[in-house]
Structure 1
Amino acid sequence: MNTFLHGRIATLLVFLITVLGLAAGVWRYAYLQGLEQLHARGVADLSLASDRLVGQLQRYRDLTVFLADHPAVHDVLAADTPSSARDFLQDIADKSAALDVLIVDVQGRVLASPQSAPGAVLIDQPFVKRALRGALGWGHGQSAPLTDRAYFHAAPVFGDAGQIKGAVIVSTDLNGIDYAWRGSNPAAFFTDSAGVVQIANRSELLFWQRPMGQPGLIPPDQSAVNFSASFVQGNEIWKMGWGPYIPDEALHLTKLLPVIGLTGEVLLDIAPARRLALSQASAVAALCLAFGAMLFLATERRRALSQANTKLERQVAKRTAALNASNTELRREAAEREEAQAALRRAQADLVQAGKLSALGQMSAGISHELNQPLMAIRSFAENAVQFMARDKPERAAENLSRISEMSDRMARIIQNLRAFARQESVPQKRVDVVRVVASAIELTQTYLDDAGVTLAYDPPETPVWVHGGEVRLGQVFVNLITNACDAMSGRETRRLTVQIMTDDGIEVCFQDTGPGIEMPDKVFDPFYTTKSVGGSSGMGLGLSISYGIVQSFGGQIRGSNLETARPDAPSPDANPLDGGGAMFSVQLERADEIEVAA
């Protein structure tokens, strides 16, 4: 018992250590992914802030270049009368929001300015020296007594001979530039070449300076502040305690801006990345613990089931022999049932073929008449053609030969329909023209209709109507319905059969007679059900049952009803006058094109 308990405790400890390691790995991976995303966002934010600052300063550089070619500036340098240009320079400063606009001569002496005193010498400023050498100068520093943070642009003024006459200097107050940025996220600042913060959206960082060769910043009074730096997968992380508006732990990114001589820097808070990594690690740990708990419960249940299974195996062993015997008996019965089903299918196929042959037997006399009549006509036309040829009347002989060809085509069509009707079809075609099938069935039963004195009313559609079915078996259904209608109208005063193909909502072929109707419509498709009297037309009552199965195999439906109970859209008795009601059989079929599109 103690050994079992110790094993379970050891397993639990191993599981907990594994979960802890997995959670730590997930935290590390999620934290690094969060830093990568934060890095990408910081690069975009820093680029946006840098572009905005460069754009604001470049406006004043363009203003400086523009003023260097202005006639008023040349007048000041030529006449040495700066007092007249003071109002002009003040107007320029007011309209451009510049801090000051100065005109200096080649000695760097201020000739005119709305803010600075004339006579001041600026030759020691690097940007002034550069401008007096013929290049654009720029720099930053104090502009006493106006501001402690200013940015300067200087442009040389050239004479007609290309000599340098002086320079124009435009100063910008940096306090006005970063004032609009205060409080925006993230914390961003710009340092000069000495590492001093000149521009920042956090005012508490202004004039902080980077220690020589070290990361971080220190206040202007050189007092100690909380700071440490580390690198995580190439990302520089600063830990600080510089105030409520600066993150305690942040990702530090930099971007050089040589066009203005500054370096852009940004601090992005990494606390959200840590929290997200912690939440993902906690979720993984919770899932693992839940899975472990379920696994423990499943193990306990399995152990209990194993004990119960041992007891059940004894009982199962006792019944195995009896089950084997029963299984053998079931397999034997299943084999016998499959053989019986196969025999039933063969019998059904033979019954369908027998039904077709029976119909052919009933129509044999009429078909013989249909074939004998063209044969007699062919013989007569042939003898006449010989006599016309003997009388040298080839045109009359050709006419008789044309009639012989027409009779031959008629006989060939009758024989072709007989062959198609008599053959045994096993697989339905994918597309069948129901107009053609109805025409073939009418042609096969035409003699039967004539002998029964039945008037046929049929107006076929002008275009093919394609349905899903088999041409031979569908023709058998139509032949069966036509012959049944003829038999039903035997002895009636009005014998009229109306055939219609309707394509409104679906494909429906209707056969309507003027017989006595159906005595029991709900049983008309039952096997061996027949309304033919003994001694009349022979029938076993299987024709409609076979037709029902054929139409069902095509995915369609066949219905039989009396005219009084027919559906509202059935052919109107007013359009086809009837004598004492009648029956109507409708065959509904599926459109072939819809099935193919669905497939």
Structure 2
Amino acid sequence: MVASDPLRPRALRLLRLLSRPSFHFFLTGLLMLLGFALAHRISERSGRDQLSALSTERLELYASNLAAELGRHASLPSLLAIAPTLQTLMQSPGDEAARQAAHQMLARVNVRAGTHQIFVATPQGEVLAASEPLTPPVRLAEAVAQGRVHFFAADPHTGSTDFYLLHPLRQSNAVAGVVVVRFNLAPLEATWVDLGLRSQGERILVADEQDVVIMSSVQAWKYAVLDHADPSRRKALEASARYPQAIGPDLELPATLEVHQGQQVKLAVPPPGGPAPATAAKPMLAQQRQILPLGLRLVALSDLTEVRQRAQYAAWGGAAFGASIGLLVLYLSSRRRALHQLTQAQAALREAHAQLEQLVDSRTAELRQTNDALKTQIAQRLQTEGELLQASKLAVLGQMSAGLSHEVNQPLTALRALARNSIRLLEGGRTDAVASNLQIMDDMVERMSRITRQLKSFARKADEPVAGQVLLLDCVRNALLLLEHRSRSLDVHAQLDLPAGLRVLADGNRLEQVLVNLIGNALDAMQHEPVRQLHVAVDALDQGRRARVRVQDSGPGVSDADLPRLFEPFFTTKPAGEGLGLGLVISAKIVHEMGGTLRAERATGELRGMSFEFDLAVDTWTATPETHDV
């Protein structure tokens, strides 16, 4: 008993420590780190092994393809070397007939074999016969002297890689010439480039014995050095005339690479089709295969980005698995307390839900009342606007009533006099004079009918505006007809500059009301001026899709202080009793409903009064404006 007493406090402290949430969080974090590191390592190793195996298979396939392409014509030079035509040529190199026969034979064989060029040359590189005119490669004499049976050289014109097969022609146990077969590797390289564009995860390159890239699926790596080339070596490579251009940048690849597992390197991969190399280096898995008979190194570069991404995903999955274990332990240890808190939270939630429903019901009732009030206000506003619109029309008609009564009374008086005169003429048997009187009476009746018809159309109260295709010139003339008595009494000269066939998209009655308001304001402004001119013109806007209507007068204009307030309700510059200050407000609203904007500014040019303009959508536009004097 005495020996066990010191262990009891330690056990209690350990139990309290294990029951604390901080310990469980620490345990969860530790499991997350372990799962992250273990899953990342396993996934990266597995992905790298799979990528290495796949790359090795593809490397063997590329090597076999390259070897088959290069060995397809390997026996052709030796077969040509025993041809009688070439034997005859070598016995008599200066015979023109022998050369011509060799030319023809080589051209036929070149076409049938599918090679690019076949020629016979001396050991010094002088061409004796060829399938087509050519310039022999610089390396030919060097290759013959070294006893080579093949070599690579770059095409100086296209920059592509050519492969040359050689076979010596002997006379008296001495090399008298050499048969050379040339074929270009550009089609094979184009296939690699196409595969590289389709699959950005793998790049292929072929390096010669000087470690210079002569073929590659990435064009920016062409004629680059695999490892590091110092300036002296770079100058020697450029002076060797093996390559048609300057030696490219160093790829910084190791001189020896693992064949099976590969070696991780970092290489800047240029973007597809981009002339400049990429600045960011990518992690890549480099593997190589030696093609010893040709003295070539075939290198495959596989992008490790996807492998690393999968390793990161797996690492996060491992971290999530470790976190789930720690959280599960934390959940089991705190389940009783969580259930108790959940019960309390549910009770509080029910109470809050009840209060929220009550609040929502009260707010819904208030919003419904507010919505009904807004609907009522909108309806009242629409009714008020309609009544104001009609009141504006009636106000204009009231201002014109005296003049219109004079316009109607004068023809009636004339009709009475003509009727009495016609009775007396009939009694006197003067039928021709009676016919003339009747024609005059008919014209007067037609004039009164036109005035009353326009008054009836203007005074009509439209419930809903109807947009249609209306002739702008007719609307202007109708407005001038309603105000003709005032313009004639003031001796106003009205000039209309607008096409006769211009049709705009608007409601004709409402457009006439706008024009009556604007022309009436212009007449009011000019009544005390010595010169009274009214100008109504139209300009094209937005390439003829809209028309701008301008109404200008020669009045005194509006002061700078009153100009910004012209479109305020109940503001007027007229004397008391002559205006309500609603004409421009209503006109601006009508123009806005028709899709335009009513603006006011000082007139320029010959007229120095005010200019009111608004724009409308055009349905039919005639190109040439016409001037009409009214």
> What TM-score comes out, normalization by structure 2 length?
0.49
1:211-250 pair list within 5 angstroms: 238=260, 250=287
Counterpart mapping for 1:391-540 below 5 A: 411=449, 415=453, 418-419=456-457, 422-424=460-462, 426-427=464-465, 429=467, 434-451=472-489, 453-462=490-499, 469-490=506-527, 492=528, 494=530, 496-501=532-537, 503=539, 507-514=548-555, 517=558, 520-534=562-576, 537=578, 539-540=579-580
Q: Assess, with a 3 A threshold, how the Cα gap between structure 1 residues 504 and 149 changes in structure 2: closer, same or farther.
A: closer
Query: Percentage identity across aligned positions?
Result: 20
Aligned residue for 1:356?
393
Structure 1 residue 442: Cα displacement: 1.9
* Rounded Cα–Cα distance in structure 2 between residues aligned with 1:251 and 1:412: 102
- Correspondence 1:544 to 2:606: no
Which runs of 5 or more structure 2 residues have no equivalent in the other structure?
1-17, 94-119, 129-144, 151-164, 170-175, 183-205, 217-225, 227-255, 264-283, 332-337, 542-546, 621-630
Structure 2 equivalent of residue 325 of structure 1? 362
Q: Which runs of 5+ in 1 are unaligned?
A: 76-89, 99-144, 156-167, 189-200, 202-225, 229-236, 242-246, 255-261, 595-599
Is the Cα contact below 8 Å between 2:538 and 2:549 reproduced in 1? yes
8 Å CA contact retained: 2:207, 2:213: no
Amino acid at match of 1:335: D
Task: Give matches, 1:17-56, under 5 Å.
Answer: none
Q: Could you tell me how far apart the structure 2 residues matched to 1:268 and 1:171 are?
A: 32
- Tell me the amino acid that sits aligned with residue 445 of structure 1: L
| Cα distance in 2 for residues equivalent to 1:353 and 1:586 | 22
Per the alignment, residue 300 of structure 2 pairs with: 269
Per the alignment, residue 586 of structure 1 pairs with 612
Q: In structure 2, what residue type is equivalent to 1:571?
A: T
Asked if the contact 2:555–2:610 (Cα under 8 Å) also holds between the matched residues in 1, the reply is no
Kindly provide the CA deviation profile for residues 346-400 of structure 1, in whole angstroms up to 9, marking residues without a partner as x.
22123212322432344356556667888978x989x99x99xx9999xx999x9
Deviation at 1:493, TM superposition (A): 5.1
Distance in 1 between the 2:446 and 2:570 partners?
41
Shift of 1:455: 0.4
Aligned counterparts, 1:3-18, within 5 A? none
Instruction: Determine the C-alpha separation between the residues in 1 that align with 2:207 and 2:523.
Output: 105
Distance 1:407 1:466, change over 3 A: same
Equivalent pairs, count = 440
In 2, the alpha carbon distance for the partners of 1:593 and 1:520 equals 36
| RMSD (Å) for aligned C-alpha atoms | 6.8
Give the number of the structure with larger relative contact order, counting CA–CA contacts within 8 Å between residues 6 or more apart. Answer: 2
- For 2:85 and 2:317, the matched residues in 1 are separated by 73
* Partner Cα distance (2:47, 2:451) in 1: 83
Contact 1:431–1:466 (CA<8 Å) still a contact in 2? yes
Cα 1:239–1:464, aligned 2, differ >3 Å: closer, same or farther?
same
Contact 1:461 1:501 in 2 (8 A): yes
CA distance in 1, matches of 2:25, 2:319: 21
Please identify the structure whose Cα radius of gyration is greater: 1
- 8 Å CA contact 2:458–2:509 kept in 1: the answer is yes
1:183 aligns with 2:215: no
CA spacing shift, 1:370–1:96, aligned 2, 3 Å: farther
* Partner in structure 1 of residue 277 of structure 2: none
1:94 has 2:134 as partner: no
1:68 aligns with 2:110: no
| Structure 1 residue 571 corresponds to structure 2 residue 604 | yes
Map 1:117-196 → 2, pairs under 5 A? 147=147, 182-185=210-213
Partners of 1:545 and 1:366 lie apart in 2 by: 25
| 1: CA distance, partners of 2:418 / 2:320 | 99
> Counterparts of 1:280 and 1:437 in 2: how far apart (Å)?
74
Distance change in 2, residues 1:149/1:520 (3 Å): closer
SS of equivalent residue, structure 2 residue 524: helix
Q: Alpha carbons of 1:458 and 1:240: their partners in 2 closer, same or farther (altered >3 Å)? A: closer
- Following TM superposition, by how much is the alpha carbon of 1:479 offset from its aligned partner in structure 2, in angstroms? 0.5
Question: Is residue 208–residue 295 contact of structure 2 (8 Å, CA) maintained in 1?
Answer: no
1:22/1:475 CA distance change after superposition, 3 Å: farther
C-alpha separation in 2, matches of 1:364 and 1:34: 102
Do the aligned partners of 2:208 and 2:296 also contact (CA within 8 Å) in 1? no
Q: 1:587 Cα shift?
A: 2.4
Say which SS state the counterpart of residue 494 (structure 2) adopts. strand
> What is the 5 A alignment of 1:278-293?
278-284=307-313
